[in-house]
Amino acid sequence: MPTHSDSLFNLKVFDHPLIRHKLAIARDQGTHSADFRRLLNEIAGLMTYEVSRRFDTRTITVQTPLEETIGHQLSRPVTLVPILRAGLSMTDGVMQLFPEARVGHIGIRRDETTHRPVTYYAKLPHDVGDGYAIVIDPMLATGGSACAAIRYLKEAGCRDIQMVCLVVAPEGVRRVHNEHPDVMVHAAALDRELDSNAYIRPGLGDAGDRVFGTIEV
């Protein structure tokens, strides 16, 4: 079960021993890209049960091999929305347990002049506002990209949004709360702080680079 932070009211941190074990390996700079990708997907899969706990269901009639009975299925569509590119690294892990989910994509970059997030790509289901949206990004640092993605989803009609991350910094969680107090953030770990370069400490490095092997680890 996740635990609530005493000061960050929009944050749930998972304390499951398997998540802690896998996160420790993922943090290790000696863990190579293939294992890093696998670990992120495994952690995302372990988090999925709790993230989906409050999804509404409706009753249906099911014909078993022996008789008719009552079953339950989700009553609203679910859309996973990874923030490109690092968010892709956790999406497969969620979909292994949740193959009926749709997948949208939002690409966000930082304007080097204004330092503000700029959405350069977005593709969402036309009825994304009819169901639940789960924003996926391994790192929540300053919160700029996360808030931009959430704002885009709200403009598309979404009213039930959650966020799934690997590690988060207090600064980013607070920003999400200040700008989108209705959005819950789920994370495997709450790290200490952002440094002067806006890197999460202790962190795990650049998740996108480590996933796609674009730097040596």
Residue 217 lies in a domain: no
Q: Domain range holding 178?
A: 2-212
Nearest to 183 by CA among 145, 138, 127, 134: 134
Rounded alpha-carbon distances, angstroms, from residue 20 to 49, 56, 70, 132: 16, 29, 38, 27
Decide: 12 and 181 in contact? Cβ < 8 Å: no
Provide the domain count of the chain.
1
Residue 196 confidence (pLDDT) above 80: yes
pLDDT digits (tens, 9 = 90+) for 50-70: 889 889 999 999 999 999 999
Band (pLDDT 50/70/90 cuts) for residue 212 is: confident
Is 162 part of any domain? yes
> Which are the catalytic amino acids?
110, 114, 206, 209
Q: Mean of the pLDDT values across residues 186-203?
A: 92
Span 86-99, average pLDDT: 87
**160 inside domain:** yes
pTM of the model: 0.89
For residue 4, the tally of other CB atoms under 10 A from its CB is 12
Judge whether 9 lies within some domain. yes
Question: Which of 102 and 85 is assigned the larger pLDDT?
Answer: 102
Least trusted range by pLDDT, from 3-17, 24-38, 128-142: 3-17
How many Å apart are CA 76 and CA 172, to the nearest integer?
Answer: 29
Confidence grade of residue 115 (pLDDT, cut at 50, 70, 90): low
Q: Is residue 133 part of a domain?
A: yes
pLDDT in tens, 119-165: 889 999 999 999 999 999 999 999 999 999 999 999 999 999 999 99
Residue 145 has φ and ψ, to the nearest 5°, of: -65, -40
**Within a domain: residue 61?**
yes
Specify the pLDDT at position 172.
Answer: 95
CATH code, 145: 3.40.50.2020
In this prediction, residue 8 carries a pLDDT of 82
